[in-house]
Structure 1
Amino acid sequence: MNLTKTRAAALSIFSNLTLTVLKIVVGILSGSMSIIAEAAHSGFDLLASFIAYFSVRVSDRPADQEHPYGHSKIENISGMLESALIFLVSLWIVYQAVQKIVKHAPVEHLPLSIVIMVVSLLANVAVSRILYRVAARTQSIALEADAAHLWSDVLTSGGVSATLAAIYAGNRFGVNLNLLDPVFSIFIALWILGIAYRLTRKSYPALLDERVKPEAEDKIRRVIENYCAGKCQFHKLRTRQSGAKVHIDFHLQFSPDTHIDGAHWFSHGLKKKLEHEIPGSEIIIHLEPYEDALVEGGKKQ
């Protein structure tokens, strides 16, 4: 299934909306704190899906007069916003779980609750796999974040299902295991806090214009060096990531007797080569003669 980023985000919205409503209804009927925590988790995922849908639509807009570098950073901003939302939801879940422990409230309608959680698990497996594939193909941080949230739902839904099954079995054999419900909901809260941390670590470097990963920058250097092959040198390489875009700029040094037309067309060919090797790259090349180049330490950088 070769979905676009926008359609993948729309699929996530539909899936999360359906599952959130189901979990809220069953959570209220059963009184299960772990299901209510999962409903809150899915509700957050629904909001995150809306954010992802908005951000991928905006990030795909071409550069304009007001945004000459494009709109790609909106995906990183949405990732930071989603992290903040995850943190708040986690605190709410912990608070509600503690209240449940204090009140010793039982869990009801267990068979229906277990069925709904298993359905939720299977649906999230399918949708998260689709989102991960589209995110990898399009280099979309927003869709990757959305897929990560759904995958966390898969794991927590499985845990909730097992917890409810244990409580149901305990009830059948006269053993009170209701405490497992709020305890596991606290585990869910800690789990999604970890997601918030990882998403923050991935989103903020681009907002600070941090250079791309060393292995990616090494590849850029190799492409330039191989293309130059003694015809020119380069230095002052700078890179940064912005959403799915990779911004690259550097100086090419030519012999002073090189004609400007020749240098221009050479740099144009190098630009095309980089765009082919580094998908989503935006490249600026400054041309200069050897004698005017400021090469640090007497060698190219």
Structure 2
Amino acid sequence: MQVSQNSKFRWIIVSLSLSIILMAIKFTAYYLTRSNAILSDALESIINVIASSFAFYSIYLSSQPKDKDHPYGHGKIEYFSSGFEGALIIIAGVWIAIEAVQHLLHPQPIQHLDWGLWLILLTVLLNGVVGYYLQKVGKSTRSEALIADGKHLMTDSLSSVLILIGLGLLILTGLQWIDSAASLVLSLVIFYNGFMLIRGSAAALMDQTDPELMESIVNILKNHKRDYWIDVHNMRIQKYGSDLHIDCHLTLPYYWDLRQVHEAVHEFEEALEKDAGGYVEFFIHVDPCLPECCKYCRLADCPVRAKAFKRDIDWSIHNLSKNQKHFVEPD
């Protein structure tokens, strides 16, 4: 089942459109209030527009079919998009911190805070709702670009909440320096979230194991397990955007002919592809069973059984990833 690109395009267009609208709202709020904290939020919204534009391009490119230069497809561009977005966020955080320090040293009067607060509150609600749905759709379609953009919008929403708190304290106390202090705290939050996006992008580009994805694949195997799937080991999963590449070793009865082996491998692949969602490419290496495998083999009519069945091997993300057959320890 091919993951639909329509929902990915639809939501990234929503994100890009929202980023442009909110940027205009935030700069309007700054024009009315002359608040440094609001200016910091407005400047960060420029990053949102650039990041959403790049995410849109990455989703378009990841949807392109495989070619001779990219035999695994173009899906990994989404991880690069996530890292690029993180780098932009860090740049924005540094920029905002510099501005905050300058305004602490040279404070400026703030005005029309009532209008500014209402406009920023509107951006909090819009960013929060769209950011939530971007992450939800991103997880269902395995789109790192959508997930990263959703996290960015959620971070932006949190940043605006910090600004609202800072401006609220300013109204209550009349202390002008609170505005710049809120901006400085905001820069630290932005910097941290940018760093986490870059870290996640680097991990994905280096094919770091995704425990949640691995767990879901293992559960699919356990739910569809056949008696002649004697053992599975050395399982590895690579993500290429929405596509998956799965390779593993599958142990089958050593006396089977090539036709039986082919049908069993096809059934194994079909079970995974049906429930994994999206396009899945496989590389299955078949191992012949050994006498030691009899202790956990449930094949009832096996003509060459050397030992009695003792117990099942509990397949998990830990033992399926090991590059060795599983054995039942002697009593």
Instruction: State the TM bucket, normalised to the shorter chain.
Output: 0.7 to 0.9
Give how far 1:223 is off: 4.6
Q: What's the counterpart of residue 287 of structure 1?
A: 286
Q: Go from structure 1 to structure 2 and tell me whether the alpha carbon gap of 1:241 and 1:107 turns closer, same or farther (over 3 Å shift).
A: same
Do the aligned residues in 2 keep the contact of 1:255 with 1:290 (CA within 8 Å)?
A: yes
Give how far 1:284 is off: 1.6
In 1, Cα distance between equivalents of 2:6 and 2:184? 36
Do the aligned residues in 2 keep the contact of 1:101 with 1:179 (CA within 8 Å)?
A: yes
Equivalent positions of 1:133-282 (< 5 A) are 133-170=136-173, 176-213=174-211, 216-221=213-218, 223-224=220-221, 227-230=225-228, 232-280=230-278, 281-282=280-281
Give how far 1:251 is off: 2.6
- Which secondary structure state, in structure 2, belongs to the residue aligned with residue 4 of structure 1? helix
Between Structure 1 and Structure 2, which shows a larger proportion of helix residues?
Answer: 1
Give how far 1:206 is off: 1.8
In 1, Cα distance between equivalents of 2:37 and 2:153? 17
- Which secondary structure state, in structure 2, belongs to the residue aligned with residue 248 of structure 1? strand
Do the aligned residues in 2 keep the contact of 1:237 with 1:251 (CA within 8 Å)?
A: yes
Give how far 1:199 is off: 1.6
Do the aligned residues in 2 keep the contact of 1:12 with 1:49 (CA within 8 Å)?
A: yes
Q: Go from structure 1 to structure 2 and tell me whether the alpha carbon gap of 1:194 and 1:64 turns closer, same or farther (over 3 Å shift).
A: same
Q: Which runs of 5+ in 1 are unaligned?
A: 171-175
In 1, Cα distance between equivalents of 2:49 and 2:244? 29
Counterpart of 2:214 in structure 1: which amino acid? E
Q: Go from structure 1 to structure 2 and tell me whether the alpha carbon gap of 1:61 and 1:102 turns closer, same or farther (over 3 Å shift).
A: same
In 2, Cα distance between equivalents of 1:12 and 1:21? 14
Do the aligned residues in 2 keep the contact of 1:211 with 1:241 (CA within 8 Å)?
A: no
In 1, Cα distance between equivalents of 2:182 and 2:229? 64
Q: Go from structure 1 to structure 2 and tell me whether the alpha carbon gap of 1:168 and 1:298 turns closer, same or farther (over 3 Å shift).
A: closer
Counterpart of 1:272 in structure 2: which amino acid? E
Counterpart of 2:285 in structure 1: which amino acid? H
Q: Could you give the per-residue CA deviations for residues 149-178 of structure 1, whole angstroms, max 9, x where no partner exists?
A: 1112222222222332333444xxxxx311
Give how far 1:250 is off: 1.6
In 2, Cα distance between equivalents of 1:224 and 1:26? 54
In 2, Cα distance between equivalents of 1:119 and 1:221? 43
Q: Go from structure 1 to structure 2 and tell me whether the alpha carbon gap of 1:211 and 1:107 turns closer, same or farther (over 3 Å shift).
A: same
Q: What's the counterpart of residue 120 of structure 1?
A: 123
In 2, Cα distance between equivalents of 1:122 and 1:198? 23
Give how far 1:52 is off: 1.6
Q: Go from structure 1 to structure 2 and tell me whether the alpha carbon gap of 1:216 and 1:156 turns closer, same or farther (over 3 Å shift).
A: closer
In 1, Cα distance between equivalents of 2:239 and 2:13? 26
Counterpart of 1:267 in structure 2: which amino acid? V
In 2, Cα distance between equivalents of 1:228 and 1:256? 16
Counterpart of 2:8 in structure 1: which amino acid? K
Give how far 1:290 is off: 4.6
Q: What's the counterpart of residue 9 of structure 2?
A: 6
Q: Of 53, 56, 59, which aligns to 2:56?
A: 53
- Which secondary structure state, in structure 2, belongs to the residue aligned with residue 55 of structure 1? helix
Aligned sequence identity (%): 29
Q: Go from structure 1 to structure 2 and tell me whether the alpha carbon gap of 1:129 and 1:234 turns closer, same or farther (over 3 Å shift).
A: closer
Q: Could you give the per-residue CA deviations for residues 31-58 of structure 1, whole angstroms, max 9, x where no partner exists?
A: 2110111011211111111122111222
- Which secondary structure state, in structure 2, belongs to the residue aligned with residue 227 of structure 1? coil
TM-score of the two chains, using structure 2 as the length reference: 0.79
- Which secondary structure state, in structure 1, belongs to the residue aligned with residue 283 of structure 2? strand
Q: What's the counterpart of residue 318 of structure 2?
A: none
In 2, Cα distance between equivalents of 1:3 and 1:69? 21
Q: What's the counterpart of residue 173 of structure 1?
A: none
- The total of aligned residue pairs comes to 290
Do the aligned residues in 1 keep the contact of 2:127 with 2:156 (CA within 8 Å)?
A: yes
Q: What's the counterpart of residue 16 of structure 1?
A: 19
In 1, Cα distance between equivalents of 2:325 and 2:264? 24
TM-score of the two chains, using structure 1 as the length reference: 0.86
Do the aligned residues in 1 keep the contact of 2:93 with 2:191 (CA within 8 Å)?
A: yes
